Amino acid sequence: PVFEVCAARAGDAGVARLKQHLDAAAQALGARDAAGLFRLAVDRVFTLAGHGTVVTGTVHGGRARVGDEDADLRLMPAGTRVRVRGIHAQNQPSETGAAGQRCALNLAAIDKDAITRGDWIGDARCFQPSRHVDVTLALLSSADAPLRPWTPLHVHLGAARHMAHVVPLSADALAPGQSGWVQLVFDAPVCAMPGDRYIVRNAQATRTVGGGRVLDPNAPDRKRRAPARLQWLQGVADMLQGGGLQPLLAQAALGLDETALQRLTGKPVRELPAPDGAVWIEPRTPQGTRTLILATHWAALRARVEQARATCHQGAPDEPGPDGSRLRRMALPAAPEALWQGLLDDLRQQGRVLRNGPWLHLPGHTAALAEAEAQLAQRLLPLLAAGAYDPPWVRDLARALGEPEERVRQVLRKLLRRADVAQVVKDLFYHRERVAQLAALAVELAAKPDGLNAAAFRDATGLGRKRAIQILEFFDRTGLTRRVRDTHVLRADSAYLADGQALS
């Protein structure tokens, strides 16, 4: 509607009609949902005598309370923690500030100069600053030119104005009057959440040329247009259209942890009920985060792990099996640590994977000893244990026991599959207890300032340099360590460290 008004006339009827229309439009919108994580877009900052730093802005989501000690509010993108000691909402003192309101927040323990227009005051779970943001963009028919790769634009998002370059995703270019998906590459990290509205102006900032909604505020800078990536963006778009979490989870083969879910939805986990067909994977430690995944995806992950383990058994039938970190690299190298450990725990609880020391194997992948082999094993194991860090070679064991080399070798290979011994190099087997002692020694050396290297390990064990290197390479293969130039660093996901039986 168009209203004829005159500011020069007191009590102008046109102004009254305009106000009446705006009031009716506001009432028709209804109240904003104040559920979710609190965030306020800062458009002004100043100091007030006797109060300190004050910021004003529009609350985009959630609710803040005066003096809430449990709230973890941050100035973003700086990440500085802040505390609210006073609120004015809609120009009135208030104990709370909620979504849809204009608020002034009196902040404690932060200087005015640390805050600028365009910053956010928000729950710590809201934002992860990023330079790459995937969005939907509707280009106005009045735009002066199509959007091609790397076209510069002024982006107005929240209360901020940023410079960004466009990378079209759903087409090679976006013509005036068209809509599509694009990635906005900003000059500096920005904060946004899925569903946020924005507008764009041309490079000279003289004309508004379009706008849209944020899809993924933490987009990758590579493989932007990969089919899997575009399917993920469709899932986000479906969620924003009211589809719930199901479309997102359908595109998340590795599930979504609590942190990702909260940033994508703007809601705390307690307000996110799992959709039908989805399960929560609990963390192994209290400090870990849960992961929500569709049951069908979880079953597919288990199948991939079992297939990788079977492939490993086929390629090395005499080996006891891969350790956890090696199996992870073979089956699911991109899996987060918490998800991987939950997957292994699930497989072990179901009896679909067994652990023998640091090694994982199929239930049927073990070695049975005949009576004669068991008797020979009882003679071999004490000799290996007595050899400590320098046990006898296969030929020496055969000579000492008066047995054929091949028979000794066959029994040792069966003991290897049972994880009673470990093979460091061909025909050199170590007793399980000695391997545990060497692993403990390696862990101790890795914690020292000089780290774990061949020279330090040689001196600590009293072995020659060649043997020390062979043992360290064995630990690299079996997942205790990985080599970084001249040192060997511990793997955080090693079964040697995570499972007490691996060192016993």
What's the token pair of residue 331?
């089956």
Nearest to 240 by CA among 185, 296, 197, 190: 197
Mean of the pLDDT values across residues 168-182? 96
Cα 161 to Cα 182: distance, rounded to the nearest angstrom: 18
Query: What does the pLDDT read at residue 493?
Result: 62
Average pLDDT, the chain: 89
pLDDT in tens, 422-441: 889 999 999 989 998 999 99
pLDDT band at 316 (very low <50, low <70, confident <90, very high): low
Mean of the pLDDT values across residues 432-456? 92
| Strand, helix or coil for residue 187 | strand
| Strand, helix or coil for residue 177 | coil
Cα 86 to Cα 107: distance, rounded to the nearest angstrom: 7
pLDDT at residue 167 greater than cutoff 50 = yes
The predicted model scores a pTM of 0.75
pLDDT in tens, 58-116: 999 999 999 898 899 999 999 999 999 999 999 999 999 999 999 999 999 899 999 99
pLDDT at residue 311 greater than cutoff 90 = no
Cα 433 to Cα 421: distance, rounded to the nearest angstrom: 8
Cα 81 to Cα 98: distance, rounded to the nearest angstrom: 20
Q: How far is CA 6 from CA 1, 16, 440, in A?
A: 16, 11, 86
Q: How far is CA 96 from CA 32, 103, 204, in A?
A: 14, 9, 40
pLDDT at residue 502 greater than cutoff 50 = no
pLDDT in tens, 54-65: 999 999 999 999
Task: Among 17-31, 36-50, 110-124, name the one with the lowest average pLDDT.
Answer: 17-31
Mean of the pLDDT values across residues 411-416? 86
Cα 315 to Cα 310: distance, rounded to the nearest angstrom: 9
Task: Among 144-153, 462-471, 490-499, name the one with the lowest average pLDDT.
Answer: 490-499
Percentage of the chain lying above the pLDDT 90 cut: 68
Cα 327 to Cα 306: distance, rounded to the nearest angstrom: 10
Spatial contact of 205 and 188, defined as CB atoms under 8 Å apart: no
Q: What is the DSSP string of 154-220?
A: EEEETTEEEEEEEEESSSS-B-TT-EEEEEEEEEEEE---TT-EEEEE-TTSSSEEEEEEEEESS--
Nearest to 316 by CA among 369, 359, 254, 259: 359
Spatial contact of 177 and 135, defined as CB atoms under 8 Å apart: no
pLDDT at residue 152 greater than cutoff 90 = yes
